[in-house]
Amino acid sequence: MINKFGDHILNTLNYFDVFNHPLKLDEIYSFLPIDISKKELIDILTFLVYSGDVYQYEDYFSLNNSALDVYNRKILNNSAEMQMPIAKEKGNLILSFPYIKAVFISGSLSKGVFDESVDDDIDFFIITQKNRLWLAKFLLKFYKLIYLNNSKKYFCINYFISENKLKLTDENRFVATELATLIPIGDSKYLDKLVSNNKWIYTFLPNIELQKPITKKQIQPKPRISKIIQILTFGIIGTILDYIIMYLHRVRNYFKYYRKFKHKNYHLRFRSTRTESKMHPPDNQTSTLEKFELKKKQSEKVEHE
């Protein structure tokens, strides 16, 4: 039993160790890549702690014998709780814009942590109406430029997809974790649709329970200004504008980023299609998975020595 499941538990802790993020029992269970009962998990985890492969401090488990990681996590948890009302306010604001169908809190805040010491942002994952993704993004960017002085701290809108293509492009542990931890604003209708179009996440996280909406409040009708904009950009006019904005965005990305990132996953960092807009210059996906694989190899090497 230990041999069968122990490595999966260690790998789960390894993944979150990339972020110096110790886990509680329920979190380990949620992020395990295998179907297992809670009782089995407790038995194996108890053995791993006893054998010195896993360290426990209070209710947290980690591969590092460091109480500091637990202390830091509690601080980041408290900071996240303080940021959540702001995230809810900004998420509801985004929902009020034309052509926005659904908004989710993503990134570190969706995992319950927020680190102001490294200028952490409140990230949003956004679903738009078909053929209006770029128009919706333009309006939100315009608002951010004019009213927020282009600050992304509380308004980081770097990932959009269209309602007619909810199947995500990348299928790996990083994307599965990000998708499974999305926090819906308003209701969970589109989260259910998103997951039903990406059932592959259960091959990585078979025990995961999706996040509940941050508020049970029903989505309000769009304000008058949004309705007016939608009337003015109805039909072919809006579609043409959407195409134009998309191509301008592609050109802008090419001249601003291509030379710098052409040999470093440019097309993963910057996607500009009719159904997806992704702006992730740091490429956290690749760096996280590479660090995870390195930690796995280091752990395997120690085990064989």
Residue 293 lies inside a defined structural domain of this protein: no
**pLDDT at residue 219, as a whole number:** 62
Q: Does residue 173 sit in the same domain as residue 238? A: yes
Confirm if 114 and 79 have CB atoms less than 8 A apart. Answer: yes
Q: How does pLDDT run across 134-169, given as a tens digit for each residue? A: 999 999 999 999 999 888 888 999 899 999 999 999
**pLDDT at residue 151, as a whole number:** 87
Domain of 188, in residue numbers: 74-287
Q: How does pLDDT run across 17-34, given as a tens digit for each residue? A: 999 999 999 999 999 999
Q: Does residue 144 sit in the same domain as residue 247? A: yes
User: Per-residue pLDDT for 96 more than 80?
Assistant: yes
CATH of the domain at 56: 1.10.10.10
Most confident of 89-98, 151-160, 212-221, 278-287: 89-98
Q: Tokens 């996953």 appear where?
A: 265
| Best CA proximity match to 179, nearest among 195, 200, 155 | 195
Q: Does residue 79 sit in the same domain as residue 58? A: no
User: Per-residue pLDDT for 237 more than 90?
Assistant: yes
Length of the chain: 305
134's tokens: 């770029």
Residue 302 lies inside a defined structural domain of this protein: no
CB burial class (10 A; 0-12, 13-18, 19+) of residue 3?
Answer: exposed
Residue 305 lies inside a defined structural domain of this protein: no
pLDDT average, residue stretch 247-267:
90
60's tokens: 């947290």
Q: Does residue 106 sit in the same domain as residue 54? A: no
Q: Does residue 103 sit in the same domain as residue 244? A: yes
Q: Which residues pair with 279 in a beta bridge?
A: 270
Q: Does residue 46 sit in the same domain as residue 104? A: no
Give the C-alpha distances (Å, rounded to integers) separating 41 from 3, 16, 46, 53, 146: 13, 17, 8, 15, 51
263, containing H or E segment = none
The total number of structural domains in the chain stands at: 2
Q: Does residue 175 sit in the same domain as residue 235? A: yes
Comparing 50-64, 97-111, 253-267, the range with the smallest average pLDDT is 253-267
**pLDDT at residue 1, as a whole number:** 47
Residue 42 lies inside a defined structural domain of this protein: yes
Q: Tokens 């949003």 appear where?
A: 124
**pLDDT at residue 86, as a whole number:** 95
User: Per-residue pLDDT for 216 more than 80?
Assistant: no
* Integer Cα distance of 259 and 92 in angstroms: 37
